[in-house]
Amino acid sequence: MQQKVRDEPNGALVPGRAFLLQGKFREGSILKICVLASSSAGNSTFIGTANTHLLVDAGLSRRETAARLALIGESIDDLDGILVSHEHTDHVGSLWTVAKRREKRPPVPVYATDATFNALAKPAYEPAVEKFCAGLKLIIGDIEVQTYTTPHDAVDPIGFCFQTQGLKTGLVTDLGYMPDSIRYHLRETDFLILESNHDLEMLKVGPYPWQVKQRVMGRKGHLSNDVASEFIRQDMAPATQTIILGHLSEQNNHPELARLAAAQAIEGRGLAVKLVVALPRKQTEVFQL
């Protein structure tokens, strides 16, 4: 059967029945990944195996999360955990409504550090919370989740690496710079979702007040296109098959600028890496490894 899957220029999904087919596990594939949204308007990423279904952050409304999961053949009711990176609204705006399952089924377990949990508004129901400390490895079903501290202006911000059956995926956004500890955690990734928030020149001449510009540029702010491409040039694991640039600023970046900076870095290394730019507010295609 001819697949009617069609990509928009930057890998965004065009809704249609074909995506349900695309969302099904391909024979022989181990891992399914889809960035449901990635920007300061809302962040949420699905990562799952045939047995374990995780969401990282819940910054989209419940309705939107459910709709975008349905497009890839997944459901909130089947989630095994929601991992929280930090307490900013674009990451947890709908956490408790997304974590609530239908009818009388227990809520989806929420994984958060103690400090992050304390910084969250609490739900009207009894949530299922699994607390962890940065640096701990969590075992959720058949996925090992390595957690690590990120430099960001939140109480206890966290980045993640996911390992299953020899495949490693890194996911880190909302970081002011790239410390050696994160370079260490991101070694040997097969799949990487990395922030490429702003173009420094656009930020400098852009509409933000000076204090906000300082915050974004600061060591607890967001990663620029330049720093993301510097990481690709110097440290990205050669085995990386796919890199998704995420958390692009809608005011201070342009998808083509982010793509160009990363593409030049990839080309400079002579690597055959699939480069995808997650458009703010749009769902990416589904990746199966």
Comparing CB distances to Zn ion, the nearer of 64 and 90 is 90
Comparing CB distances to Zn ion, the nearer of 174 and 190 is 174
Long-range pairs of 154-157 with CB within 8 A, sequence gap ≥ 24: 154/86, 154/87, 154/88, 154/116, 154/119, 155/86, 155/87, 155/115, 155/116, 155/118, 155/119, 156/86, 156/113, 156/114, 156/115, 156/116, 157/85, 157/86
Rg of the chain on CA atoms, in Å: 18
Comparing CB distances to Zn ion, the nearer of 90 and 285 is 90
Q: Which residue in the shown chain puts its C-beta closest to Zn ion?
A: 88
Comparing CB distances to Zn ion, the nearer of 168 and 198 is 198
* Closest separation in Å from C-beta 40 to Zn ion: 6
* Closest separation in Å from C-beta 126 to Zn ion: 27
Give CA angle at 146 (45, 140), nearest 5°: 70
Comparing CB distances to Zn ion, the nearer of 88 and 259 is 88
* Closest separation in Å from C-beta 221 to Zn ion: 9
Helical (H) or strand (E) element with 171:
strand 167-172
* Closest separation in Å from C-beta 86 to Zn ion: 6
β-sheet with 158-164: strand ranges across: 137-140, 143-149, 158-164, 167-172, 191-195, 242-246, 274-277
Comparing CB distances to Zn ion, the nearer of 42 and 107 is 42
| Residues found near Zn ion in the complex (CB under 5 A) | 88, 90, 174
* Closest separation in Å from C-beta 102 to Zn ion: 28
Alpha-carbon gap, residue 243 to 190, rounded angstroms: 9
